[in-house]
Structure 1
Amino acid sequence: MSHPALFINGAWQQGRGAEFGKTDPVDNQTLWQANAADGSDVAAACEAARSAFPAWARTPFEQREQLVKRFAALLEAHKQDLAAVISRETSKPRWETLTEVQAMIGKVAISLQAYQARTGISETAMADGASVLRHRPHGVLAVFGPYNFPGHLPNGHIVPALLAAIRWSLNPAS
C-alpha cells in the first residue's frame, strides 16, 4: 500500500509516477512504499518553491535563524528515532547513523557562524571609485540527496539555503 510521499506547497500528496518501495536489507521487511514523482509533480514542487520565494526572501534573518535553531532542537529531540530509520534504510550500524544525525545538528551552528562571517555588505575603495559586495537571495535551490548519507548531505545544502532566504526542493535517493 502506497503512502503520500511528496510534500508540495504545504501538503502531503501521492506521487503520479511508478510505485516503488524500500525493504530492510537485513530481514527483507518492507519499510515503505510510495509512488515516485513524475514530471508534473516536479514542476508543481518547483513552482511552489518559486511562488513562495518572494515572501521568504523578505523574511527577516532573525526569523530564519530561529527556524533553523528549532530544526536543530527537533533533530536533537528525535535523534535516536532518526538514527534508527537511517540505519534500517542504509544497513549502517547505529553508531554511524547517530554520528550522521549529530552532524546534521552541528551543521546548524556551523552554518550560522558562516552566514555571519560571509554575508552583509562590504565596500572596498578603488582608484576610480569603490567595489561593493552585497548578498541577497536569488531563487530556488534543487537538492539531490544521495543514498549513503541521506540526512547529512542534503542538510548541508538546505540549512545554509534557509539562512540565506533561498527556497529549496529536495529529491532524495531511492
Structure 2
Amino acid sequence: MTLWINGDWITGQGERRRKTNPVSAEILWQGNDANAAQVAEACQAARAAFPRWARQPFAARQAIVEKFAALLEAHKAELTEVIARETGKPRWEAATEVTAMINKIAISIKAYHARTGAQKSELVDGAATLRHRPHGVLAVFGPYNFPGHLPNGPYCARVAGRQYADLQT
C-alpha cells in the first residue's frame, strides 16, 4: 500500500493486505499497511504541521474543502466504480454515496458558521465567554460499508474547523 507521510509517497512496511471484490473475489489491490514506526512518523508529521494549519484563515480552509468537492464531482464516475467494486454495492448506491460526500462539504461549511465564533453572555456576578479554537490532530478511519461518506463527514468538518485531520480508509 502506498502511504503519504510528511510530503512523501512511501511503501507500507507493516502487515500485508489485499482487497477483493466481495461479489467476484477478484483481487482489486494489495500492499502493506504502515508499521508502528510509520504510524508514529505520520502522527509526528501531523503534529508538526498543526500550528501552521491552525493559523490558516477560514477562507483558505473553505477553498480546500470546496476544491475537494469539485474533485469529487469531477471523478464521480470513477469513485462510484471503485466503491461498487470494493464493497459489492450496486452502482446506483455507490453513486448515492459519492453524491452524499459532495453534499457534505456545503453542510460542513454551514455548520462551521453556525457553531463557531465567540459569544459573550453577561451573568449576575460576571460574564461568560465562549471561544472556539483548534485542538490538534485527529485520525479518521473509514468503515468498509460506507468507505467514502462516513469518514468524509468528520474529515470535512475538521478541515473547515482548523483541526488537522488524517484520513484512513
TM range (shorter): over 0.9
2:158 equivalent to 1:166:
no
The TM-score normalised by the length of structure 1 is 0.94
Distance in 1 of aligned mates of 2:156 and 2:35: 26
Structure 2: how far apart are the matches of 1:116 and 1:18?
A: 42
Q: TM-score, normalised by structure 2?
A: 0.96
Which residue number in structure 1 is paired with residue 75 of structure 2?
Answer: 78
- Residues of 2 paired with 1:53 and 1:68: CA distance? 17
Q: Match of 1:37?
A: 34
Pairing 1:118–2:103 present? no
CA offsets per residue over residues 124-172 of structure 1, 9 Å max, x none? 1101111000001010011121110000111011001001111122332
Structure 2 gaps of 5+ residues are: none
What secondary structure does 1:108 align onto? Answer: helix
1:72 partner letter: A
Q: 3-state SS of the aligned residue for 1:92? A: coil
Identical aligned residues as a percent: 57
Q: Measure the CA separation in 2 of the matches of 1:126 and 1:97.
A: 51
2: CA distance, partners of 1:30 / 1:11: 26
The aligned residue for residue 47 of structure 1 is 44
Please name the residue that 1:58 is paired with. 55
Structure 2 CA distance for aligned equivalents of residues 125 and 29 of structure 1: 64
Shift of the alpha carbon at 1:19? 1.6
Deviations 1:51-106 (CA, angstroms, capped at 9, x unpaired): 00000000111000011011001101111100100000000000000000000001
What amino acid sits opposite 1:84 in the alignment?
E
Query: Which residue matches 1:99?
Result: 96
Unaligned runs of 5+ in 1: none
Matched AA of 2:55: R
Give the partner amino acid of 1:13: I
**Cα drift, residue 5 of structure 1:** 2.0
C-alpha distance in structure 2 between counterparts of 1:5 and 1:157, whole Å: 23
